[in-house]
Every structure is written in C-alpha cells, then in structure tokens.
Structure 1
Amino acid sequence: MKLSALLYFLFIVQFAFSQNASIKGVVKTEDNFDTDFEVRLIGANQKASVSGNQFSFTKLSSGEYSISLRAPGYEVFFEEFYLSKDEQKNMLVELLLISDQLDEIMIIDEQTGINSKTPYSFTSVSLEAIKDKSSPNGLMGTLRDIPGVYGAEFGQGIVKPFIRGLGFSRVVTVFQGNKLENQQWGGDHGLGVNDLGVKRVDVIKGPASVLYGSGALGGVLLVKDDETYLKSNTITGNFGTSFNSISNGYRTFGSVAKKFENDFYVAADLAYENHADYKDGEGRIIGNSRFNTNTIRFHAGLDQESFQNKFSFTYNDQSLGIIDDNEMEETLATSRNDRSMQLPFQEVVDYLFSYKQNSQHEKYETFLHLSHHINERKEIEEAFDEVDLGFRQQHTFYNGRISLTNTAIKHSFGIQGSFLNNKNMQGAQEFLVPDANFFETGAYYLGEYEVNNYFLQAALRYDYRSITGEANSQQLIDDGFILPGNPENRKLNTDFGGLTGSFGVSKTIKKHKIKANVSTGYRAPDLAELFSNGPHPGTTRFEIGNVNFEREQSYQADLNYEFKSRKFSAAASVFGSLINNYIFFSSADEVEPESGLNIWDYRQVDARLYGGEFNLQYRPFEDKEFKLNFSGAVVRGDNLDFNEPLTFIPPDNLNFGIDWMPFTTTTRIFGGVRLVAEQDRPGFNETLTEAYTLFNLGVSHHFELGKNQLQASLIGNNLLNETFVDHMSLLRANQVTSPGRNISLNLRYLF
C-alpha cells in the first residue's frame, strides 16, 4: 500500500510539473479586417486568453490537441498537432473569406439590431492600433481620414464631426449607448468624447433618423467600447503615454479589467491629457489653443451565453482655451510651454451613467438601454471668477427593442425617447438662450428579409417632440431677456412630429456587393435656433432665433458598390439629398444697440447636397504584408432659395496611403499623402480657402515581453510643415492657420 501510494504521488508530481507547454497565436484575416473570433482548444479544459488579435494557452501537458478558430464571414480554421513536454508552440493563423460571401456579418448596433448587411453606407474604423492613439484631436483626429467624414475645428481640443457636408446638430453621436446631447448646437462646442476604452467607431453615412430620431440627418457615429476582457479569465489591461511636439502635449492612460468564473466582470479606464498652444507651419504660436482633459470610466456587468448586462459611468473634465478672433493681429500667446488657462476659455464637465441589457431566446431577442447625462458648460471671458455664459443640462435617454428571430422576415419593434432640461447657471453674466426643456418619444418598426443573396430592409418611424422655453427665472427677468414675440407669461412652447422611413436592398454576387437605399430623415430645431436672443461670449455676435421654424426634412438616395478579393478591394458611393427647411446662420447687417455687437440670425431655406466617396485597396503580394490605399470624396451643397453654395461644405480631397510590414517581426511602416483642393465655392459670408498637401509617415513595433507586449510608434504628421487654413475650421474667417509639423511618440504596454 505504501509503495502504491508513493508511485501515485510521484505520478501526480510528474504530471503537475509536466504542464509547462504553451500555445501562442496571432490572428490575421485575408482582407486585413479586425474581427472578433472564437478559439477552442480540443484536448484541454481551458479557455483561451485573448488580447486584440492574439490568443494563448498556458500550463498544458504534453499530448495530442486540435484547435479551431471561427469568425463570422470567414472559413473555419482547424489544425491538429502534438505538443511535447515544455514545447512553446507559436502559430500565425490567417482566416480566409468565405468564397460566396463578401464580408463578415457583424453587429453594427445592438440598440437597433442592424448588422453589416444593412443597405446603409457605413464604415467601421478600428482604434486598437497604437498608431491611432496619437492625435491631439482625439477621436475625430482618426475619423476624419474616412472618405466623407470631416472635422470642423475651433482649435485642437474642439473638433466637431461633419458627414457628407452636414454637421453641428445634424450628426448623432452614440457614446456608451447614450444619444449624446452636449450643447452641440454651438460652433465652439466640441464632440466631448475621446478614445479612452474605445475599440472601434462605426460611421453611418446619410439619414438615419428612422433608427436614431432627431439629429441623424447627416449620419451617426457609433462609438463602441473595448470589451476584449470578456474573452479572458485573467486580469487584462494596458497603460501608456503619448507625446505630441506640435503642442508639447502629453497623454497618459491606463485600463484594467477582470472577468470572473461566475461571468461577472469589472473594468476601469483612466486618462490625463495636457497641451500647450500649438504652432503653425511658420512656427507661429497660436495663442490660447491650449487645453487639458481628465477622463475616468468604470464598467461592471454580467456576460452569459443568453443574457448580458452592463453598467457604465464616465466622468470627463475639459478646460479648453478659446482662440480669439483677433489672434493673427494681436496674439494671446505667452511662453512656449505655458499650460495655464487664460481668458477666454471653457470649462466642460460631463457625468454619464448608463445601463444596458441584452437577452437571447429561441424565438426572439430583447435589448434595453437607460442613461442619464449631466453636462455642465461654462464660458469664461472677462474674469476668472465670473461665468459669462453657463449651462447645466440634464438628459435622460431610453431605448428598447424586441426582435422576432424565428420567422422568414425578421421583425424588430423599438421605442426611443429623451427628457432634456437645460438651465442657465446662477450668477452667469450673459444669457444667450432661456431655460428650456423638451420631451421626445418615437416608435419604429424594422423589417429584414433575405432571399437568393438579396437582403431587403425597410423601416418606418413616428416621432413627437415638445419643446418649452422659459424666461421667468429672476436672473433672466433682471437681465431683460425677452423670448421671441415677448409672450406675457414669459414662456413659449412648440411641437414637432412626423414620419420617417427607409427602404433598401443589397445584392451579393460572390465577391461583389451592390447596395441601394432611399430614406428620409428629420431634425427638430435646436434650442439656439428657436430661442436665442443675446450675446454669445467668445464670439462677436448677438444671436437671434426663430420660434416659428419648421423641422428639417431630408430625402436621400444612396448607391454603393463593393468588391473584395485576396489582393484587391474597392468601395464607391454616390448620394443625392434634398432638405426642406434647412436652417443656416447669417449676418443681418445690423448692430444690436446696447451691446454694439453684429446681429446674426437663423433662417430657413430649401437645400440640396450631392457627391460621392471611393476607397481602393491593393495588396500586390499574397505572402507579404504590403498594402496600398487610395481614397477620396466630393461634396456639393446648394442653397436653392438664394441660388448660392451652402456654408461649411468641405473641399474635394484625395488620400494616398501605404502600410508595410517589411520583416517577419511586427514592425510596421505606414504613411500617406492628403491632397485637399481649393474650396472655390464659398457660401454666404465665407471666403475662398487655398489648396494644401499634407505628408505623413510613421513606424510602429510590438515587443514581446514574456506573456505581455510593449507597443511603440513614432509618427510625423504634416512633415513638410505646410502653412494652411482649413476650410472646415471655425476660425477660417479670421485666417487662423492650422497646426504645422507634429512628431508624436506613443508607448503602450499590454498585460
């Protein structure tokens, strides 16, 4: 008995110490598209540790194994092998496209249930690469490289998204599942989100009001959280830093997450960013372009096979310098590395709480989202201890959907709505808009049917919005603020309602896909367009709204073509849109007597926009990572009532890019040229802007440090130090030049 026990003990010890074999793999796809994948190791009761496009298994005993990888739209990868004692097996797995399918089917938006087969024109942009973490313009610094997407700047820290020539309140941003309402009506109000904890952004181009309600007239930015930690049962995360020479700016960030065996998970993200004033191509310091940002994010939830939920919280604190209209004549610049806030500047603080849950059943699936967003915005102009313009906005957003999945036609029924309250802060010195609130609710139906490689999608929606402006607070009475029409009870109410719809079809023929879509979208006028009647700090304007405005209504047709093969891919889109009751801002050629400011008012006209985008990608060598890219976009916009161009229509542009991994290691060289044409079709009160060319070049490398990885990149933007004025700059009327050469260094450690 003693001998048997001893032999058994020695066997156990030998077995324990023989579990030192491991497998490490890197996953790439034939079309070089970042995709989620599922990996299974048959022969071991162990989950893979997954980080980005890498997976690993550790503490394996010797023996026979088989491994399988699956990803939507790609052929299943399968391999059998034998692991010897202490063997460290390295794998490079390439997933091949399914021959009769153009691309993988991925979920574009959980809230609405739409996926990549939708006839909408959309682009998915991964933000996982270290080279995408470098732009001082944050999220929009990467997104505006997409054909048809542009950024309107009011300095580096304030960039607003434009899609196909439409921006401000005409583009919806969905962040943390919340339909973002952060005073985007203001030209000097930025997007208000950054890429901390973000995996990718899906950009829907064209009217999407049928699924997202008011404001999605131009398109939608769907910001997706990085949830790779759900694939691992160990603590995962990363931390790093970035430096930008253009503003002597730095950013430090970190993330950590853990999924437990009971399927509960927690995650946290933290970032701090600080920039001095930037320099243009001539080395001139653009005064008061400095800014800094603090961001904290927290997530917790449950991730089970048929039920998932997630609670998230984001805190974002920004201090943003406001570039003066007279900057090119009398600069506010101080010393090169001065980071202290100076007058005028903005303080913006956001608190966003959200909860979402998904459930999957045999015959149906459900989705629920609830969020509450507090946005506090101060514009400080005359003195540090005085708030010239201040708002505290609270926005509650809800979204629910149920989809029937076991029928030939997939039926989805959804409701969405908002409660918004916007109040002027106590003690503010000036008032641009009154206190206001709105209630909005909408219900939609989405039907999807697939037959013989045709995918049909139709949607119909009805919305109602009630908006109330109130000027009966004591501070508004003392200020003498008057609502349009000067109502006796100092209160105004206006309602908007109506139908929107879309119908589209996509046809897949092996490597070709054609999409056609017709849709209508709408936008209710924002608070400034309806109720503004006062000076706007940080500008030289006295702004006047019009409470009698009708809602904007657009009618658009889209045609898209895509082709993908092992070596070559192409995508092209053309679109045309008519917008009834298009609202624009113009000078009244009058001066307001008390303030002495120029009066600007809002007006409505009928408008037309049309244009197109294309993107070509060529991989000449099947066995090498070498990729050439060529893309471009054209947009035209006309004011049909006055027979003149619309304002804020971007110039034509072409982009050439190269991406090359010249060695067997993970060194990557990338670069490009951006050609921006002269914008010689200026709209009302706009000036012509000249053409310019930007050259970019960078290199990145991934260093293996045991089980972990260090990523590094060195990138040069505008390497020829071009001096230019961007037509999409909100400061172009004052000829404020854009940033010059920027060298950025980025480091990120993944564990």
Structure 2
Amino acid sequence: MNKFLMTILCMGMFYSLLSGQTAYTLSGRVVDENERPLPGATIAVLPGSKVTQSNPEGYFQLNDLYENSYTLTASFMGYDSYTDTLYIENDRTCTIQLRQTSVNLQEVVVTHDYADEKKKEEALPVDIVTKRFLWQNMGGSLMQSLQILPGVGSLDIGAGQSKPIIRGLGFNRVIVVENGMKHEAQQWGSDHGLEVDQYAVENVEVIKGPLSLLYGSEAIGGVIDMKSRTYYPENTFGGSVDLSGKTSNQFLGTSVSLYGRRKSFFADLRATVLDYGDYTVPTDSVNIYSYRAPLYKHHLRNTAGKEQNIHFSFGVIRPEFESRSYLSNIHTKNGFFANAHGLEPLNVDTEMHDASNRDSHYPYQDVNHFKINNITRYRWTAENYVETQLGFQRNIRDEWSQYISHGYMPSQFPDTLGFASDLERAFDKSVYSGRMKLALKKDKKTFNAGINAEYQDNKIDGRGFIIPAFKQIAVGGYLFGKLTIGAKSVLQAGIRYDFGRIMTEEYFDWFPSPLTNETVSEYRHLQRAHHIDRRFSSISWSAGYNLNLERWSFKSNIGKSFRMPIAKELAANGVNYHQFSYEVGNPDLSPEMAYQWDVGADYVYNRLSAGISPFVNYFTNYIYLNPTSEHDRLYGNGNQVFYYMQSRVLRYGAEMHVEYQILPQIQIGWTGEYVYSEQLSGVKKGFTLPFSPPPSMRLHAGYLTKKLARSIENAYVSLDHIITAPQNNIVPPEDPTPGHQVLNIGAGGDLKWGKQPIQVSLQIQNLLNTKYFNHTSYYKLIHVPEPGRNIVIHISIPFSGKIKST
C-alpha cells in the first residue's frame, strides 16, 4: 500500500513539473444576435470552478487559468446555451453570441451541453437531470421523481418514501452517492426509504449498468449520483424559497436556501420542513390475505409523516486548491399502514386512526441520518489533480409498535430489560469512509487511479430480531484509463481489486423457550444468530468504446462486477413484519459475480432524435430469498419461512427513445423499457427475479414558448400517457399484476412580479383517477393500489445580489 501511495505522489509531482504554474486571463463580451449586450449571463469554464457573470455592458473576465484545454459555457434565460473548447496558453479575449431559445422539451434525455459531453464520453447509459426537471416531475420522493426516466424505477413505501431500482435491481445492488460520498443506511429493508432531501439536490446523474470498477461492491446494478449546487459566482449572494403542495396526501413542503461567496470563500445553508397526511387510494377496501380491511374515506390509515432537514456547506475555491465541507441532518417520522403491520389486521383501532389523517400512531418509524463530508482537491492544472474525501455518517432507525406476545414471549413485558416494551426494533449504524483519487491528463490520454476504505458498525436493539449487530470493512483500489482517438473515438478500460470483511455478533432471545427431549423439559434462551467472520475479495474490470459521428453515436462496454453478501443475507433469523415472512440467512453464501455487456446507438438529425440501449447481464451466483412450505410458530402467527439461496441468472433488456420536433414550440416523443430475468439453476429454475418490472412505454407531447405574455416566460404544457404491460412472469409469493394506463399533465413557467422572478410548475398525476397496481410497490403484496388523482404544485422564488468588494 505504501508503494502504491508513493507511486501516485511521484506521478503527481512529475506532472506538476511538466505543466508549469503561469496564470492567464480569459475576458470577453456576451451579446445577442443583434450585438446587444446581455447583462447577468453566466459564464463558466470546465473543468475547474471558475464562474462569473457579465456586467451591464455584457463584459466578463475569468482569472487564474492555467495552460490547458477548457470547455467554455455561457447561458442566459431565454437563450440557447453556448459551448466552445478553448486551449489557454496566454491571455485571451472572445465574443460570445447567444441565440434565442430553440424549443426542446425532451424530458428523458436532458439536452444540456454537459449532459451531451458526458454521454459521448461515458461507455454506459447515463441520464442527467437538472433541478428544473425534478420540479416539473416532483413525486412523493426523489426516486418517484426520477422514475420517469427509462430503466429507472422505485420501490415505493407509501406516498413519501421509496428506494431506487435500476433495470429491475435494487436494495444493496444500487449505490446512491450524495456529494461524492456513498449513502449508507439500512437499505436492505424493503420498508426503509432513502434519507435524502430532494430540495437540496441540484442535479442527478443516473448511470445504468455495473460500476463496481469505480464505486466498489454494491454498484452491480448502477449508481444514482446526486449533487448539490457546485458553482457560485464571485462576490454574490442568493438563495430561494421553495413551496410545494400535493393533494393525494395533503402534503405541505417548505424549503429555504441561502448562499454567499466572496472571492474564494463560500457558504450555503438550507432548511426543509415537510408535513403530510394519510394518502388516498381509489378504492374503499384492501384484501389482506383472507381479511378485507375497509378504508375510511379512501385513506390508507397511519401513513402520515413529518420530515425536518438541515444542510450546511462551506469551502474555499482557489485556482490550485478547492475544499468543500458538507453537513446535513435528515429526520423523518412516518407511520406504517396500520392494517398491514404483522398479522393482526383485526386488532387495529380504526376509530383512533380515523379520527385524524395527519397523525402517526403505532406502528411507526423514527429515522435520523447525520452526515459530515469533506472533499478537497489539489490541482496543478484544471484536469490534473489529487482529490481526497473523508466522511462520517450515522443512521439511527427506531421502529415502534404495541407489544403483543407471540410464541413463548411473556404476556406481560418484564421491566428488567434495557429497552422499552414498545420498541420493536432499533438499528444504530456508524460509517467512516475515505478515498483518494489521482487524475492525470496529457494530450488525449486520461489516467485515473484511486483507493477507498470504509468501516461500518451497526448495533441493534429492541424486542424483535431479524439481523444481528455487525461490523464491516471494505477496501479497494482501481486504475482507469481513457484514450481519445482522433476526434470521434474514445477507448477506455480499467481494473479494480476489492477486499471486504464482515463480522456478525451472536444473539440470544431475551425470553426462554422450552426444549424437550425424551427425559427432561427445560427452558432456554434460544440462540438466533452465531458469530460469523467472513472475508471476500475479487477483481473487477471494464472495457468500453465510444464512436461519435456527425449524426450517429455508438457505444459498447463489457465488464465484470462484484458484490459481497450483506449481514441480512448471511445471518437473518427472524420475522419481517412488513413482508409477512420469516427470513433465514445462509452463512456460506458466496459473493455475487456479474458479467454485463452494454451497447448503445443514438441518432440526431434536424428535428429527429432516437436511441436504443440494450444490455445482457449474467450472474454466476445471484442471491435471493426462496419461499418454502414451512411456517414459523414461535415468533409470529405462522409466517411463511424464506431461506436465502443462490442461483445462476440471465438478464437482458433495453431502453429506447424517439423524439420529433413538429413545430418550433411542439415536440412529441416515445420512450420504452423492457427487462427479462430468468433463474438458470436452483430450486426456482425457470422463474424470474423478485420485483421484476414489466415492460412499459411513455408517449409524451409538449408545448414550450419563450414568451407567452409580458410577465410569463418559458411557459410549457406537457401531456404523458404511460402504458404498462401486465406482469405475469413472477416468482412466488408474488401475484401477477394487470397492465394499466395512466394519464399525467403538467404546465408551468417563469412568472415576473415586478423584477422578482417566480418559477411555477403544476402537475395532475393520474388524471383519470385510475385504479392500478405497481408491481414494484412495497404494498402490492397486500393488494394496495397506487395513489389516485394527485395535484402537485411547486413554486420557487429565487433571489440574488452582489456583494461589494472591499
């Protein structure tokens, strides 16, 4: 390891000597098609963090640039973005001419210059969405907002919580990254949502396919990479007030942000408060196995919740040095559907729950997620740098419910234990992480090397048991290179080594159970989990090629990914109250190995754009839960027993899109997705995988005009018709899901109240109040339909100003 670090440092010093340190200035003027100045236009150079705005005469200046090739971008409301590549080797001046916006409502593939460049360089399918996209498609959670993207779905836990699914893979097979740090919580649980404030997310990159090479174990299905605001013009301040409302669960949300930057120092603060009630569904009852549970006024009782979030970031931005620190705390409290928790739907106090649709009684969960993260970059040119990241996060999840004895539990809870009788389960997870990355670029060659390490300590508490306490260590390192061949081709390849160790603790019941043999009956505290100490290691690799022609672009990538088993898969031994199952781990599981080939083709000409991204994925030993004919009698009311097993799995599918610009203001389009999975071995040979999404397509049309009235700009109207096929390819205990069609409409624009801009977006989701089921929904198992008609409104009031230089 010491030799590896010395090599990186020596290479960095060598590149530093080659590159020099002379600083240059780029200055110029931003004008429109009639040579009139555009004051307040934003000008930036990438890579790096140099951003400024044009003055009242349209002039700008960017200082402290070093000899290198830069991407220069300029943007101004109502005008097309400008992009050019400049090689800076002395002081330069230029004139940037912007044209009035050429309308493009392409919602799935966001037409932003950075997004286009990323797609051309990335060998895997990638979608990049902006904050405006998130506003216009706001759902109950961040993942519900993103599921409009082809190949992206969400496992929904009610109307306010969800977790990501990419091409049918979710849970610990998809990594979520926030501001450069991997998000770690209790993501193994189907009832555990994603602790992320969607108001604090500026843009999202969704990369589909195996990314273990760059992100390590668990990136076997893809990555959701979320970023807060990155660039702040010098000597400015600003912020926004965001207000949201939704009718399906009487949602009220408020988020306020404030930022400021002097020449090199900046700070950013955001506070968010959310409050929502029980959400409504287009039915008056649900069937929970053999019991029909009536719903009062169509409300899914006890699904209300609250959320309070705080974010603070600060840092220093200089030409050769950049450091950013992020602190955040997410706190949520939300109820579980009272009729679906455990197997006591007959014992629910409906009168208490139905008295108010905005309170949360038992059962509910209380979650707090704290993060602190620092990313520091030392650079000697814009694209030659060393970056370090250090982070800590703590996830505390408490699940509360009224004490009910099962099996040999005492009828009266003893007061001699160290936890409350109503604390069903508690998890306390601390994660320490760090990484270092070296990036080098010379001419058309790019080289990246990195190492990362993570330590997890997860404690448990409460009267219920499903997984033991555990500690986990993961260390990895990678080398990745990219070669640009001519002006059209990019060749890339990399290799990675990972080592992981997981240690679970033994666990005994807090109450005794009888053990009977031929002569003696005695009571003992049964052992539910044994001490496990497993080590895993693997080599991952990837190779890709991109070809970018005038109208066509092609890409291909093949790679191997790796995922080590988690504590639940190795050592679970308890009731999952939310899934009506008793789950048993397997301490002898091998790590998952996946091989995947991705290809893609895109065509753009005049008003037409189209593309397809097929993939083939093969698992040598996919880990899954297998239902059996056994039933547990000691810890529940006869829950079906599931065992973790492994099998070979073949998966293939594709995402497709076509968009056509009928008129300058009108665009129509079509997107589709398809995933097929089949187990090739094991007791479920021939079956698919759990939560496999059915084929679906989206027909959309949009109208956008630069100026609708004197005080309304960038006004738009959109119409989406979503068609989902039946899902009859299931694995027990899943039930087939019928197909459905849903109609959504949206409208919005930028309003001006005097000099104050106000951004407004309005949606009506499920316009026809259609009763339908989502095959990947958490509540689909008990036949709960998706929310009915939902009117969503979002208002953003931005503000900004100049800080006088001293």
| SS across alignment from 1:664 | strand
| SS across alignment from 2:319 | coil
Aligned pairs for 1:243-262 within 5 A: 243-261=245-263
How much does 1:189 deviate? 0.9
| SS across alignment from 1:375 | strand
1:389-433 Cα distance to aligned partner (Å, 9 max, x none): 1010001121211022125532111011210000013xx112211
Q: Specify the alignment match of 1:354 in structure 2.
A: 373
- Seq. identity, %: 23
| SS across alignment from 2:196 | coil
Question: Do the aligned partners of residues 480 and 435 (structure 1) sit closer, same or farther apart at CA in structure 2, a change above 3 Å counting?
Answer: farther
How much does 1:481 deviate? 6.0
* Separation in 1, partners of 2:339, 2:645: 24
* Separation in 1, partners of 2:215, 2:184: 13
2:560–2:593 contact (8 Å) kept in structure 1: yes
1:352-378 Cα distance to aligned partner (Å, 9 max, x none): 000001232148311111111100011
Mean CA deviation greater in 398-407 or 173-182: 398-407
How much does 1:128 deviate? 2.6
* Separation in 2, partners of 1:381, 1:505: 54
| SS across alignment from 2:771 | coil
Q: Specify the alignment match of 1:432 in structure 2.
A: 466
1:233 to 232, 235, 257: 235
Mean CA deviation greater in 520-529 or 285-294: 285-294
1:251–1:272 contact (8 Å) kept in structure 2: yes
AA partner of residue 422 (structure 1): N
AA partner of residue 299 (structure 2): I
Question: Do the aligned partners of residues 572 and 539 (structure 1) sit closer, same or farther apart at CA in structure 2, a change above 3 Å counting?
Answer: closer
AA partner of residue 270 (structure 2): D
1:616 to 644, 647, 658: 658
1:545 to 564, 569, 585: 585
Question: Do the aligned partners of residues 69 and 121 (structure 1) sit closer, same or farther apart at CA in structure 2, a change above 3 Å counting?
Answer: closer
- The question of 1:604 aligning with 2:646 is answered yes
Q: Specify the alignment match of 2:191 in structure 1.
A: 188
Q: Specify the alignment match of 1:559 in structure 2.
A: 599
1:483-542 Cα distance to aligned partner (Å, 9 max, x none): 55x4xxxx2200110100000000011121100010111111111111111223444322
Question: Do the aligned partners of residues 291 and 483 (structure 1) sit closer, same or farther apart at CA in structure 2, a change above 3 Å counting?
Answer: same
Q: Give me the TM-score of the superposition, normalised by structure 2.
A: 0.79
| SS across alignment from 1:688 | coil
1:382 to 402, 425, 434: 402
* Separation in 2, partners of 1:712, 1:93: 19
* Separation in 2, partners of 1:367, 1:708: 39
- The question of 1:394 aligning with 2:408 is answered no
* Separation in 2, partners of 1:325, 1:448: 55
Q: Specify the alignment match of 1:210 in structure 2.
A: 213
2:80–2:101 contact (8 Å) kept in structure 1: no
1:29-82 Cα distance to aligned partner (Å, 9 max, x none): xxxxxx99876569777679xx996479xxxxxxxxxx99853579999468xx
Question: Do the aligned partners of residues 654 and 38 (structure 1) sit closer, same or farther apart at CA in structure 2, a change above 3 Å counting?
Answer: farther
* Separation in 2, partners of 1:530, 1:727: 27
2:52–2:61 contact (8 Å) kept in structure 1: no
Question: Do the aligned partners of residues 325 and 460 (structure 1) sit closer, same or farther apart at CA in structure 2, a change above 3 Å counting?
Answer: farther
How much does 1:725 deviate? 1.3
2:421–2:463 contact (8 Å) kept in structure 1: no
How much does 1:181 deviate? 1.4
Q: Specify the alignment match of 1:86 in structure 2.
A: none
- The question of 1:293 aligning with 2:307 is answered yes
1:310–1:357 contact (8 Å) kept in structure 2: yes
* Separation in 1, partners of 2:389, 2:526: 38
Q: Give me the TM-score of the superposition, normalised by structure 1.
A: 0.84
- The question of 1:279 aligning with 2:280 is answered yes
AA partner of residue 307 (structure 1): F
Q: Specify the alignment match of 1:726 in structure 2.
A: 774
Q: Specify the alignment match of 1:467 in structure 2.
A: 502
2:159–2:249 contact (8 Å) kept in structure 1: no
Q: Specify the alignment match of 1:16 in structure 2.
A: none
Aligned pairs for 1:35-46 within 5 A: 40=54
AA partner of residue 429 (structure 1): R
| SS across alignment from 2:748 | strand
How much does 1:564 deviate? 2.5
Q: Specify the alignment match of 1:197 in structure 2.
A: 200
* Separation in 2, partners of 1:94, 1:37: 24
Q: Specify the alignment match of 2:139 in structure 1.
A: 135
How much does 1:157 deviate? 2.1
| SS across alignment from 1:235 | strand
Question: Do the aligned partners of residues 584 and 166 (structure 1) sit closer, same or farther apart at CA in structure 2, a change above 3 Å counting?
Answer: same
How much does 1:644 deviate? 1.6
Aligned pairs for 1:149-168 within 5 A: 149-168=152-171
Q: Specify the alignment match of 2:666 in structure 1.
A: 626
* Separation in 2, partners of 1:513, 1:231: 35
AA partner of residue 290 (structure 1): A
* Separation in 1, partners of 2:622, 2:116: 29
2:700–2:720 contact (8 Å) kept in structure 1: yes
| SS across alignment from 1:733 | helix
- The question of 1:339 aligning with 2:358 is answered yes
| SS across alignment from 2:324 | strand
2:121 to 109, 117, 120: 117
AA partner of residue 319 (structure 2): E
Question: Do the aligned partners of residues 702 and 532 (structure 1) sit closer, same or farther apart at CA in structure 2, a change above 3 Å counting?
Answer: same
Question: Do the aligned partners of residues 705 and 286 (structure 1) sit closer, same or farther apart at CA in structure 2, a change above 3 Å counting?
Answer: same
CA RMSD in angstroms, aligned pairs only? 3.4
* Separation in 1, partners of 2:602, 2:630: 51
Q: Specify the alignment match of 2:7 in structure 1.
A: none
Q: Specify the alignment match of 2:385 in structure 1.
A: 365
1:297-326 Cα distance to aligned partner (Å, 9 max, x none): 000001223322100011000112212564
| SS across alignment from 1:710 | strand
AA partner of residue 463 (structure 2): Q
2:725 to 677, 696, 705: 677
1:458 to 493, 512, 521: 493
AA partner of residue 652 (structure 2): Y
1:417 to 442, 453, 456: 453
Question: Do the aligned partners of residues 367 and 267 (structure 1) sit closer, same or farther apart at CA in structure 2, a change above 3 Å counting?
Answer: same
* Separation in 2, partners of 1:37, 1:568: 33
1:171-229 Cα distance to aligned partner (Å, 9 max, x none): 0000122111111111111122131221111011011001111111110000011235x
Mean CA deviation greater in 536-545 or 726-735: 536-545
* Separation in 2, partners of 1:631, 1:651: 14
**Structure 1: segments with no counterpart, 5+ residues:** 1-20, 29-34, 57-66, 81-89, 97-101
* Separation in 2, partners of 1:22, 1:156: 47
* Separation in 1, partners of 2:103, 2:766: 36
AA partner of residue 686 (structure 2): N
| SS across alignment from 1:405 | strand
* Separation in 2, partners of 1:207, 1:129: 25
How much does 1:238 deviate? 0.5
1:659–1:669 contact (8 Å) kept in structure 2: yes
- The question of 1:148 aligning with 2:151 is answered yes
How many residue pairs are counted as aligned between the two chains?
A: 683
2:340–2:578 contact (8 Å) kept in structure 1: no
How much does 1:700 deviate? 0.6
Question: Do the aligned partners of residues 656 and 44 (structure 1) sit closer, same or farther apart at CA in structure 2, a change above 3 Å counting?
Answer: closer
* Separation in 2, partners of 1:695, 1:473: 52
Q: Specify the alignment match of 1:15 in structure 2.
A: none
* Separation in 2, partners of 1:689, 1:185: 24
- The question of 1:176 aligning with 2:221 is answered no
